[in-house]
Chains A and B, each alone.
Chain A
Amino acid sequence: MKAAVLVFPGINRDRDMARTLRLISGREPAIVWHAEKELPFGTDLVVIPGGFSYGDYLRCGAIAARSPIMDAVRAYAAKGGLVLGVCNGFQILCEAGLLPGVLMRNENLRFICRDVYLRVERSDTPFTRGYNAGQVVRVPVAHGEGNYIADGETIAQLEGEGRVLFRYSSPDGMIDPNWNHNGAINAIAGIVNERGNVLGMMPHPENHVEAAIGPTDGRGLFAGLVEALDRAA
């Protein structure tokens, strides 16, 4: 795995992400500043971590989505390269037009920072091959704007094409408004683009990978990516 972690001013989860990538892939990821015009040669995974790029000014992710490096990410994604956006990274991917829809203020207007349960909807993608379909994983969220929404046509398309990879659920996998902390439509926590190579998700799998800290349910996502990339190589 030759991962590249993008850094914008105000991003603060880049080190957690780099630590997890190093831990699970055994390789140091490249750290790429937003003003760069190209990704490092041979990059096979672009990760846009969480944080508060540009202080969430204008709209979350709006200014970062227009930085020079995002043109390179667009070109890389158009060739099928894998892209993972977490939290602010998901917001940036939506603002950049790489994923449909938008992340609105949480329904209860509060910043929510705690563990949630996600139901993994399918296991036949590079991002979820480390899990079983229907498996429930426990990972943290930390966001004020995670309430996913898109127009009805887009939602129907996402659902029809099986592009919702993660949903907020109860610990036993039930979809229930009481377990949908931010009010996202259809309890959507993570989606992929049409081609299936760009994933955006609000929760932070990178923060639950070490037994010393707590649950390790986040490992599956990264271990699966390593496996998928090793196969491709």
Chain B
Amino acid sequence: MKARVTVTLKSGILDPQGKAIEGALRSLGLAGVSSVRQGKVFDIEIDGGDRDKAEALLKQAADKLLANTVIENYRVDVLG
């Protein structure tokens, strides 16, 4: 089964990388970009076909390693 874990910075946490990307987009002349926040995407293959189990496993993975929940939020999507 394929799944995706998306990790993003919590709101209020300063994101200097996102700011730099935002500045670069502006300097490319791409008008209309008001803000950029950078995050991470993990594409993960899971053994077996039990969606609930997969979701529970990925939540554990995110809590234990993929995200630092002090500064980051995550979302788990089991894509099937």
A104 CB–B CB distance under 8 Å: yes
Given contacts A104-B14, A104-B16, A105-B17, contact A151 B70 (CB under 8 A): yes
Q: What B residues does A212 contact at CB under 8 A?
A: none
Q: What A residues does B64 contact at CB under 8 A?
A: 66
Please tell me if the beta carbons of A149 and B66 are within 8 angstroms of each other in the complex.
no
Given contacts A109-B17, A149-B13, contact A104 B71 (CB under 8 A): yes
**Which residue of chain A is the closest to B67 with respect to CB atoms?**
A59
Chain A nearest CB from B50 CB (Å) reads: 26
Please tell me if the beta carbons of B66 and A58 are within 8 angstroms of each other in the complex.
yes
**C-alpha spacing A101/B30, complex, angstroms:** 36
Chain A nearest CB from B1 CB (Å) reads: 23
**C-alpha spacing A147/B16, complex, angstroms:** 11
**Which residue of chain A is the closest to B9 with respect to CB atoms?**
A104
Q: What B residues does A108 contact at CB under 8 A?
A: 16
Please tell me if the beta carbons of A102 and B16 are within 8 angstroms of each other in the complex.
no
**C-alpha spacing A101/B71, complex, angstroms:** 9
When each residue 116-158 of chain A gets 1 if its CB lies under 8 Å from chain B and 0 otherwise, what string results? 0000000000000000000000000000000101110000000
**C-alpha spacing A66/B68, complex, angstroms:** 13
When each residue 85-116 of chain A gets 1 if its CB lies under 8 Å from chain B and 0 otherwise, what string results? 00000000001000011101111110000000
Please tell me if the beta carbons of B16 and A105 are within 8 angstroms of each other in the complex.
yes
Given contacts A66-B64, A66-B65, contact A102 B70 (CB under 8 A): yes
**C-alpha spacing A125/B28, complex, angstroms:** 52
Please tell me if the beta carbons of B65 and A58 are within 8 angstroms of each other in the complex.
yes
Question: Which of B14, B16, B66, B70 touches A150 (beta carbons < 8 Å)?
Answer: B70
Please tell me if the beta carbons of A101 and B66 are within 8 angstroms of each other in the complex.
no
A30 CB–B CB distance under 8 Å: no
B41 CB–A CB distance under 8 Å: no
Chain A nearest CB from B73 CB (Å) reads: 14
Please tell me if the beta carbons of A107 and B71 are within 8 angstroms of each other in the complex.
no
Chain B nearest CB from A165 CB (Å) reads: 21
CB within 8 Å of A: which of B15-61? 16-17, 20
Q: What B residues does A66 contact at CB under 8 A?
A: 64-65
Please tell me if the beta carbons of B70 and A109 are within 8 angstroms of each other in the complex.
no
Please tell me if the beta carbons of A149 and B14 are within 8 angstroms of each other in the complex.
yes
**C-alpha spacing A102/B14, complex, angstroms:** 12
**C-alpha spacing A78/B71, complex, angstroms:** 25
**C-alpha spacing A100/B68, complex, angstroms:** 12
Chain A nearest CB from B31 CB (Å) reads: 24
Given A59-B68, A109-B17, A150-B70, 16 more A-B residue pairs with CB atoms under 8 Å apart are A58-B65, A63-B65, A66-B64, A66-B65, A95-B68, A100-B70, A101-B70, A102-B71, A104-B13, A104-B14, A104-B71, A105-B17, A107-B14, A147-B16, A149-B14, A149-B71
